[in-house]
Chain A
Amino acid sequence: MNDCPNAEIRDLLCDAIHGTLTDGDRRRVDEHVATCADCRAELALLQRARTVLDRRTPAVDAARIAAAIPPRRATARALRFSTWRVAASIAVMAVGAASLSLARSQIGNRDGAGIGESAVSSAAGPQDAQMLSFSGRLSMLNDADLEQLLADIDDFDGGTPAEPAAVLPVPAWDGGTP
């Protein structure tokens, strides 16, 4: 079986067996194939190959496959919920990092004041700090819980509760009169 030298027509033969040619191309192909034995043979080969490939198509249960597709609403809700979870996780991590940083700075300040008794210390103790607590797994929360958690995070003030009061150095008193 030989290849016709007319590559342009040969490229259209597959489209011809699928009936997707424009009227103009279909006329060109018909006229060419009528006078070209190589293209007639190739056209017949392609039609037979298509038939064989179709016949060998494995059977699949379209209804079963369709049943496995999650409903649109559930999919959209799952995506929304997933977005909330990611946002809440990031927010909780950010608050945690800020709290850790704050705690470290307070410890550092207290330590510094202890040595020189002249450093600046925080006027408010850790017990005065605004607390944001959460236990359990984020994945266990529903939408309402997550929204509440995010609202709490928005309200949470991660800074020091009050401006630190300066502790001035106190001169040592030896008990005598000044």
Chain B
Amino acid sequence: MSAAKRSPDDSTDAGLIARWKAGDERAASELVTRHAESLARFASSLGERDEIEELVQDTFVRAFASLDSFRGESSLRTWLFTIQRRLLLDRRRSARRRRGDVQIQEDDVATEYTALDGVVADETERMLVSAMDRLSPMQREVFTLRVSEGMSYRDIADVLGSTEGAARVHYHNALRAVKELLDE
């Protein structure tokens, strides 16, 4: 499709999806470029360290394979986050079954998070990183989606399979915890 023939909405997620469905493979690249970084950041907040690119790739492959079922009731980004979170939970369940564990909890989604990665610029940021690392897995997920991605409580609730009110409470608890840890 030539640029001249594109409608003004072609650059939106919905427009890119429509272009991809019409056979324009560059639209897929644009969607990946647009959302891959956010997905990688979210994967990191979920505690992934080593296979983030593989997880992001699998998320996109699964999403594109079922894009016909995406009805646009949420944003594409929210939908991608939801897919990625489920993928990660499934993988961890499988890994735990292989290890013979039986207790599987949603809150465990980020238990493999490791602290302080040494890329912080100064002491204040180092403290901030340390404080965020000490949040509960659920608080860290919500805090990342709200602060880094600017998502609404409703969208966060969709990703977590929770309620808007619960997302708000998790966010404010996380913020309070960060403040307290910085004040220590």
Contact = CB atoms under 8 A, between A and B. Distances in A.
Interface of A: 1, 3, 10-11, 14-15, 17-18, 20, 42, 45-46, 48-66, 68-73, 75
A20 B149 CA distance: 11
Contact of A1 (B65, B124, B168, B183): B183
B139 interface: no
Given A15-B150, A55-B120, 11 more contacts: A45-B179, A48-B125, A49-B178, A51-B125, A53-B45, A57-B40, A57-B41, A62-B37, A63-B29, A64-B53, A66-B33
A69 B30 CA distance: 12
Interface string B1-38: 00000000000000000001111010011001100110
Contact of B128 (A49, A59, A66): A49
Chain B interface, >50% SS class: helix
Contacts, number: 114
A69 B56 CA distance: 12
A49 B183 CA distance: 15
Contacts of A65: 32, 36, 53, 56-57, 60
A53 B32 contact: no
7 contacts: A1-B179, A14-B146, A15-B150, A17-B150, A53-B45, A53-B144, A69-B32
Chain A interface, >50% SS class: helix
B128 A52 contact: yes
A31 B36 CA distance: 36
A58 B64 contact: no
A55 B119 contact: yes
B23 A72 contact: yes
A66 B44 CA distance: 20
Contact of B32 (A17, A45, A62, A71): A62
Contacts of B123: none
B143 to A, nearest CB: 8
B182 interface: yes
User: Considering residues A10, A11, A71, A75, which has the most beta carbons from chain B within 10 angstroms of its beta carbon?
Assistant: A75
